[in-house]
Chain A
Amino acid sequence: MIPATLLTNALLVGAVLFCLGLVGILTRRNLIVMFLSAELMLQGVSVTLVAWSRYHGDWGGQVLVVFVLTVAACEAAVALVLVLQAFARTGRLDAAAWQSLREDNLPRAIDRELPAGDSVVPTWPRLTPAGVRPEADASQSLERDHV
């Protein structure tokens, strides 16, 4: 059993995580970041369940969190496969790339103008080359130099 102050603190943390995940899944357009936001909401719910479970001395909440973990693993596996298939079709991880699936009477979402400040390409750290540089076929290269 945990004291009531710890219960309310944990409930607050769970609420904050849930709301952050909600904002993320509503606003972000990258499919993978949307799934990360959904996982963030699941984490908030897990914290809430464990807090109530510990407060009441009842094990149901923790058992439920075990199943939340299981379902999250299943969901991530299936969802990421679907994301990969969607990327193979459109070449983008953009949720708005699939807006042709919307209802006929809904307006088309229009891209707003891009921010100017982020156009600077950041410099990433590089490892010091060691040994002879291998002969690389540029067309076959899967190497990416941007994150």
Chain B
Amino acid sequence: MDPVSTTPVAQSGMLLAGSIAALASALWLLLPKASDTIASRRVGALLGALALAGFAATGRSLGCVGEDAVFLTVAAVAVVSGLATIVTRSPVYAAIWFAMALAGVSGVLLVLGAQFLGVATIVVYAGAILVMFLFVLMLAQPSGMASYDRVSSEPMLAAAAGAVLLGLLTLSIGRLSAAEPAACCRMPSRVEAAAAAATGTVPEASPLPAESGGNEVAHLGAQLFGRHLFAVEVAGVLLLVALVGAIAVVSRGEATEADHRREDR
């Protein structure tokens, strides 16, 4: 028997291991450190692309990657922008790349059929939180490239940890789709479907994405302000407390500075 020929599962396992190693070395090459050259960064980018292709191929061999071109596009935008967020040197560019990643994530949420959350991600994150980040950068950024933006702490260990964690998650997600009937995660929906079929009623909370349309937001709102009304109230209080706390921290800092100045005089 030919020792080279292996089972598809073993092949995809080897591919997964290779992808983990390639992603780890790509992240390590891309992160800021002393022995940086343009060439090493290019090699890192190439390795990262290879690793992501390996992850995608692993997923395909485990029956994961679908045909939905829109989903693949927005997912690629989210993942590549997320990578650029953590490897880019300038924090302003990191914030802009994060906005791009948010656009990708919002697209993923829209493809999944969560219209309200897709829009809320753009409005709340990109519109409010990210602008706040950019304002703070404008107030606090020293001119020129700071030294601490060009080195990172323990890039090798962190890259290996991240890549191994991603490999483990990929494995467990692949197990979800590989174990078709026995997977525990399938049971509730099947039970619900059986119950709905038995009683002859349509399950209220599971409209098909194609025909859900405007009902989506209405359902979410009904859930939020019906079953989770108390949590909404608590969230409102949390927002108020955060607002008051932020203002208090700022004004107390200014007060102590003024006190110091008074003492100096």
Residues of A at the B interface (CB closer than 8 Å) are 1-13, 15-24, 26-30, 32-33, 35-37, 39-40, 43, 46-47, 50-51, 53-59, 62-63, 65-67, 69-78, 80-85, 87-88, 91-96, 109, 111-118, 121, 144-147
Minimum distance in angstroms from A144 CB to a CB of chain B: 5
Residue in B closest to A68 when the chains form the complex, CB atoms: B117
Task: Name the B residues within 8 Å of A46 (CB-CB).
Answer: 105, 109, 117, 121
The count of chain B contact residues (Cβ–Cβ below 8 Å) is 115
Please report B residues at the A interface, Cβ cutoff 8 Å. 27, 31-38, 55, 59, 63-66, 68, 71-72, 75, 78-79, 82-83, 85-86, 89-95, 98, 101-102, 105, 108-109, 111-114, 116-117, 120-121, 124-125, 128-129, 132-133, 136-155, 157-159, 161-163, 165-166, 169-170, 173-174, 176-177, 185, 188-189, 192, 203, 205-209, 219-220, 223-224, 227-228, 231, 235, 238-239, 241-243, 245-246, 249-250, 253, 257
Contacts of B151 in A (CB 8 A): 29, 111-112, 114-115
Return the contact of A20 from the options B36, B86, B92, B145 (Cβ within 8 A): B86
11 contacts between A and B (CB under 8 A): A6-B111, A16-B79, A43-B102, A63-B227, A72-B129, A73-B124, A76-B133, A78-B245, A80-B246, A93-B141, A147-B93
A78–B242 contact, CB under 8 A? Answer: yes
Is there an interface contact between A36 and B117, defined as CB atoms closer than 8 Å?
Answer: no
A29 to B33, CA, bound (A): 12
With the chains together, A47 CA to B110 CA distance in Å?
10
Chain A residues with CB under 8 Å of B162's CB are 19-20, 22-23, 26
Q: Residue of A at shortest CB range from B76?
A: A13
Complex CA distance for A55 and B249, rounded to whole angstroms: 43
A-B contact count (CB 8 A): 319
Q: Does the CB pair B253–A88 fall under 8 Å?
A: yes
CB–CB A22/B161 < 8 A:
yes
Indicate whether A115 sits within 8 Å of B246 (C-beta atoms), given known contacts A8-B59, A19-B166, A54-B112: no
Q: What separation, in Å, do the CA atoms of A96 and B227 have in the docked complex?
A: 45
Q: Tell me, in angstroms, the Cα distance from A47 to B107 when the chains sit together.
A: 10
Specify which of B31, B121, B246 is in contact with A69 (CB 8 Å cutoff).
B121
Does B109 lie within 8 Å of A70, measured CB to CB? no
